[in-house]
Amino acid sequence: MLPTNIGHEDDLEANGSNDRWIDLEEEVDGLLEKLRETNDQLATLLNDPVSPPSQSMTRTIQRHRDVLSDFERDSSRTKANVKTALDRANLLSGVRNDIDAYKSSAAEALLTERGHIDSSHRMTDDILNQAYETRADIGRQRSVLGGMNARMAGIQCQE
């Protein structure tokens, strides 16, 4: 019979577990149906007026009915346990997907923020380069103006 306790590592292999479980369930149900038919055939032997069954035959048939009942009970218990395990696996899978999506969106937000910071750094570098160029231009203008002042002073002295 199928195990009634399913451990964490036995979670019916989460991905293909549902299909596999359906196949197993159908197989077990088919076998139980065959056993039920066999028990029904044995029960008809009990009711045969031509050859009445012996005491041991009656006990054996009753034992077969008990075994069928045990198998059916175990099967329904196992079905319930597997359904619970599959539901839990689906729930955990959904939670994992939500966590992954959150992590992905958080990572994406961090990458976007990093892009904004890099863009700010580039803009700051551009502004600093403009300031250095402006300073250099002002220095050149000062030297040109200083040269012009010197010429004007030289021209004034000559007059």
Sequence spans of domains, the chain: 17-158
Is pLDDT at 44 greater than 70 in this prediction?
yes
* Distance of alpha carbon 22 from alpha carbon 16, whole angstroms: 10
Is pLDDT at 4 greater than 70 in this prediction?
no
**pLDDT, tens digit (0-9, with 9 covering 90-100), for 96-140:** 787 777 777 877 888 889 999 999 999 999 999 999 999 999 999
In whole numbers, what is the pLDDT of the chain averaged over residues? 83
**How much of the chain exceeds pLDDT 70, in percent?**
89
pLDDT of residue 15: 52
**pLDDT, tens digit (0-9, with 9 covering 90-100), for 133-158:** 999 999 999 999 999 988 888 888 88
